[in-house]
Amino acid sequence: MTDRVLVTGISGFLGGHVALALLEAGYAVRGSLRDAARAPGVREALRRAGADVSRLEFVALELGRDEGWRVALRGCRYLQHVASPLAVRMPKDRDEMIRPALEGTRRAVAAALAAGVERIVLTSSTAAIMAGHPRNRAEPFSEADWSRPGPGMSAYAESKTRAELEAWSLMEEAGRRDDLAVVNPAVILGPLLDADPGTSALLVKRLLDGSAPAAAHFNLALVDVRDVAALQRNAMLSPRAGGRRHLAAAGTLDLVALARELRARFPSHAARIPLLVLPDWAVRLYARFDADLRDNLGTLGPPRPVDNHQALTLLGRPFTSPAEAAAATAASLIARRLV
C-alpha cells in the first residue's frame, strides 16, 4: 500500500513543490486547500510538471477552523505542514498574521498526534532564527539561534517564531519531540508551477517589469524552492532529521547584485531593470514613513552569514546558487507572460 502524506497549503509556491517531490518519490498526496475550487488548477499544474496525479487528492481545510483536520489526516503516515499566512503588505493588526499561524500549527500538530502519524515536518523560516539580533553580528546564524522579540520584529517573524515554538512545545508535551522535523528556509525563489507568482517571486517580478525604479543594498539569504522541497521530503524520512531544525539557505545576494545578474541573463528585459542604486541613508529615511520598508531594514547592509552545514547534510548535494534560483524565477515569469 502506498504511504499517504497530508500536505497543507498545496496551492502555494512551496506547497506545490513539496507535493511534486513527494509524488515523484512514489507517495500518495492529500493536499489541503482553503478553496476547493482551486483543486483542478493545482492538479493540472502538477501534471504539467511531470507528476503522476493519479495519487493526488484534495481536502478542504482552514488554519482557523477545527473542522476537517481529523478526516484530513485519516490514513496518513506523515504530515507536511507547509501552510502559513504570508502577505505582500504587513497587516496593521499584527494578530491578523500571528493568530492564524499559531492556531493553524496548533491544530495541525494536535490532529497529527491524535492520528498517530509517524513524522511531522513543519515549514518554519529563517525569520524564526535571525530576527531581532544585532545588525553587526559576525557569528554565523545556525539552528541554535532563535529570533528575539522586540519592537523591530515584524509580524511575519513573530508569527513564524511563535508557531514553531508552539510545535516544539506540543511535541515535547506528547513525549514525541524526535517525531518533529523543522525546515527553516530563507527567501524562496525558483521555477513557478503555475501563473500565480505568489509573494516570493514578486521580488524578481518588480525588478523585471520596471516597477522598482531603484535597487538598494538589501542583502537577502536565498534558497531554491526545489531544494526546500527536497529537504522537506528528506526530513520526513531521515531518522537523523527528527528533533532538529534545518536552516535552508544557499547564500546571500543583495538586490543590486540581483538586478545586475538579471540584466546579464535576460537582455530583452534589461532596459526595465533598475540601474539606480539607492544609498542606505536614503532607505533609512524613507523607512520612517513606510512600515513595510521598516520591517526589512534588518536586511540592509552587509550580508549576515549563515551556517547551512546541517541542511546540506540532509539535502545530500550542493544547494542551487542564489543566482540560479533567481534566474529560474525570472525565466518562469517571462515564459508565463507575467512580465
Triad 32, 230, 326: Cα angle to 5°: 95
Q: With the CA atoms of 225, 230, 232 and 236 taken in that order, what torsion angle do they form, in degrees rounded to the nearest 10?
A: 170
- Tell me how far CA of residue 174 lies from CA of 66, 113, 199, 317, in angstroms: 20, 8, 35, 34
CA distance 259 to 129: 27
Beta carbons within 10 angstroms of residue 253's beta carbon: 23
Q: Which of 160, 226, 245, 246 is catalytic?
A: 160
Q: Is 160 a catalytic residue?
A: yes
Query: What are the helix (H) ranges across the chain?
Result: 13-24, 39-48, 69-73, 95-115, 127-130, 155-173, 202-208, 225-237, 255-265, 280-287, 291-295, 309-315, 322-335
Length of the chain: 339
Pairing verdict, β 251-254 and 219-224: antiparallel
Grid coordinates given for 241: 532529521
Catalytic sites, residue numbers: 160
